[in-house]
Amino acid sequence: MRTPPPRTERTIRRSLLRATALYCALIVVAWCALFPILWALSGSLKTPAEIGRSNLLPAQPQWSNYTEVFSLMPFWRMFANTVLYAGAVTAGQVFFCSLAGYAFARLPFRGRNTMFLLYLSTLMVPLTVTVIPQFIIMRVLGWTDTPWAMIVPGLFGTAFGTYLMRQFFAGLPADLEEAAVLDGCSPWRIYWRILLPHTTPALMVLAVLTWVNVWNDFLWPLVMIQRPSIATLTLGLVWTQGQHVSRWPVLMAASILMLAPLIILYMVAQRSFIRGITMTGMGGR
Amino acid sequence: MSARGSALQRRRARAGRLFVLPNLAALLVFMAFPLGYSLYLSFTRSDLFRPATFVGITNYRQLFADPLFGIALRNTVVFTVGSVLPTVLISLGIAALLNRKLKGIAIFRTIIFVPLAVSAVVMAVVWQFVFNTDNGLLNIMLGWLHLGPVPWLVDPHWAMVSLCLVSVWKGVPFATVVLLAAMGGIDENLYEAARIDGAGELRRFFAITVPLIRAALSFVVIISTINAFQAFDQVYVLTGGNGGPESATYVLGIMLFQHAFGFGEFGYACALAWVMFAILLVLTGLQLRRGRQEDT
């Protein structure tokens, strides 16, 4: 063992200097992450004349920019639509993926492994390849420009969700359900009453990821929906941006309104958020 | 095996098939079938109004002769390299910074990961405001240094730079989360041993941290490349649905969207989609093989 060096004035000053440098670096990085959002927040409260100036705090906060958003686009209608789509898809995804994940992990049947290989192979398929046939399917069903197009494709769960849940169910100890199986308890009861309560962390991760994906989705609503009355917030924002070019205060107010719910979700469910990202790679979208 | 046991097994197997069914059906209808169907469509001439007619490899031949495909491919490669490389390097540094045990580090992590919650669409609208030539923040700040104004989104060269910048801003938190998780799994004793041997901070980082998180680095590179290669949302919103200015941001994602949903040329667009898929498979395979070779 090495004896610790005596804490002379020089070493203290050096470690102090190091800590200061580290905190400075952290503050710079944090500023880089936040400044576009803060700048948008600031812009949403400025007058059009004030937009070109560098002050972060508006001279006189213009809350009317926010009320103007509501008159330029049916904001609350689109908000409700987005909540409906995200809520339905998230509920369906969590239920059907956990059900299938339970079966893949705990209920052996013939062809199960082959089937799971099919699941794994579809994980690689990019949206680019499937979006055109999916569009055609919606046309054939007559669902384009209806809420069904936004809900049904995601309602019964995805391969990724099932894969995630399978891994989690497989990791639960076997003796959790052993007694119940021997007692003749039905697989449904075992799933619903005994195992599901133990999977809450995984369910949270899946729910958060799904909610964020639907909330932020753009390409699918863009090709599916024309009517403002059933549009999502992303569509509404892009339409408003197209019609009111350079009306920055109002556009920033709309952006902040759209951003706020997800930032709140992130603050509340940060752990699930971060865990979901380490497990997937939804990041780029 | 007792009779009771096998009856139980049959019951459980039946339940298993039943529980998988809804999810499997959705997978077949919305993933497996579209996969095969788009391959079939890529060999047909098909659009919104006429039934598909088989034309062999005509679409592929046309695609490779299409000068716009060359432009889109070139732009996509530039964008992918120009966004993935800085993203990985920057996030490596930030992850190392966030991996330290400092007071208040949790708050910094929370703040630095905030862009994870921002959608590509909102992000693009907000950055348009930041990039704005006349009164955007970046040009205001450059003005303090008596530089600029830079026509960020108007000039063809700067437009690609702007696009990369936005994607790096959005991509770094994701990559940092993954790399940070990998760094957290490294045994502290390794660093302690290296310190006693007199290895400096940089040396420890490159000799211990980087080699030990290689799997995570590889994962980040693959996922970021896949996402960048198919980029659509941020391009569409930031520089418009035509990939302007002067096709400087005309990437493959925009080209696919235009042909499929602008012109209704499903066959041609599907051929493009499969070429993109093939390129991605080759890139991913190469990256995975490189990772394996380094391990042995």
DSSP of chain A, one letter per residue?
Answer: -PPPPP--HHHHHHHHHHHHHHHHHHHHHHHHHHHHHHHHHHHTTS-GGGTTS--SS-SS--THHHHHHHHHS-HHHHHHHHHHHHHHHHHHHHHHHHHHHHHHHH---TTHHHHHHHHHHHTT--HHHHHHHHHHHHHHHT-TTSHHHHHHHHHT--HHHHHHHHHHHHHS-THHHHHHHHTT--HHHIIIIIIGGGGHHHHHHHHHHHHHHHHH--HHHHHH---GGG--HHHHHHHHHHHSTT-HHHHHHHHHHHHHHHHHHHHHTHHHHHHHHHHS--TT-
pLDDT-derived band at B244, boundaries 50, 70, 90: confident
pLDDT at B221 over 80: yes
- Per-residue pLDDT reduced to its tens digit, A96-147: 999 999 999 999 999 999 999 998 888 888 889 999 999 999 999 999 999 9
Residue A5 pLDDT class (50, 70, 90 cuts): low
Asked if residue B128 belongs to a domain, the reply is: yes
Shortest Cα distance from A54 to chain B (angstroms)?
Answer: 7
Residue B77 lies in a domain: no
Give the chain A residue nearest B120 (alpha carbons): A285
CA dist A44 and A58 (Å) reads 9
pLDDT score for B5: 66
Confidence check: pLDDT of A283 > 50: no
Could you tell me the sign of the dihedral formed by the alpha carbons of B199, B204, B208, B210, in that order? negative
Q: Does B13 sit within 8 Å of A284, measured CB to CB?
A: no
Across the range B210-222, mean pLDDT stands at 90
Q: Of the candidates B111, B69, B101, B70, which has an alpha carbon nearest to the alpha carbon of residue B258?
A: B69
Q: How many domains does chain B have?
A: 1
Q: From A55, which residue of chain B is nearest by alpha-carbon distance?
A: B137
- The alpha carbon of residue A192 is apart from the nearest alpha carbon of chain B, in Å, by 12
Size of interface A-B (CB pairs under 8 A): 286
Closest CA to B28 of A48, A134, A220: A134
Pick from B102, B126, B281: which is nearest to A37 by CB?
A: B126
Q: Kindly list the residues from chain A whose CB atom is less than 8 angstroms away from the CB atom of residue B38.
A: 129-130, 132-133
Chain A residues 188-247 with CB within 8 Å of chain B:
188, 191, 212, 215-216, 218-219, 222-223, 234, 237-238, 241, 246
Q: Are strands B53-54 and B44-45 parallel, antiparallel or unpaired?
A: antiparallel
Residue B250: Cβ-neighbour burial (10 angstroms; 0-12, 13-18, 19+): buried
Distance from CA of A32 to the nearest CA of B (A): 8
Residues of A in contact with B256 (CB under 8 A): 128
Kindly determine whether residue A278 and residue B27, on different chains, have CB atoms separated by under 8 Å.
no
Residue B187 DSSP label: -
Closest CB to A100: pick one of B20, B174, B281: B20
Interface predicted TM-score (ipTM) of this complex, two decimals = 0.90
Name which of B105, B226, B260 is nearest A132 (Cβ-Cβ). B260
Tell me: pLDDT of A152 over 90: yes
B203 falls within a domain: yes
- Over residues A182-237, the pLDDT tens digits come to 888 889 999 999 999 999 999 999 999 999 999 999 999 999 999 999 999 999 99
Q: Which of A156-165, A186-195, B60-69, B141-150 bottoms out in mean pLDDT, i.e. has the lowest?
A: B141-150
- Expressed as residue numbers, the domain containing B100 is 82-263
Collapsing DSSP states into helix, strand and coil, what is residue B45? strand
* Domain ranges across chain A: 9-65, 74-279
Close Cβ partners of A151 (under 8 Å, ≥ 6 residues apart):
A84, A85, A88, A89, A92
Q: Tell me the shortest Cα–Cα distance from A159 to chain B, in angstroms.
A: 7
Q: Is B282 on the interface with A (CB under 8 A)?
A: no
Of chain A, the percentage scoring pLDDT greater than 70 comes to 95
**pLDDT given for residue A282 in this prediction:** 43
Instruction: Tell me which residue in A136, A218, A255 faces B120 most closely, judged by beta carbons.
Output: A218
Residue with tokens 């610790």: A4
Encoded tokens for A31: 């500023």
Which pairs with CB-CB distance under 8 Å and at least 24 residues apart come from A243-247?
A243/A72, A244/A72, A246/B132, A247/A48
Interface-testing mutation among A107, A186, A241, with chain B (most B C-beta atoms within 10 A):
A107
Question: Tell me, what's the pLDDT at B274?
Answer: 97
Residue B126, domain member (yes or no) = yes
pLDDT at A284: 33
B280 interfaces chain A, CB cutoff of 8 Å: yes
Asked if residue A285 has pLDDT above 50, the reply is no
Domain holding B89: CATH number?
1.10.3720.10
CATH number of A74-279: 1.10.3720.10
Q: Is residue B123 part of a domain?
A: yes
Q: Residue A139 contacts by C-beta under 8 Å, 6 or more apart in sequence?
A: none
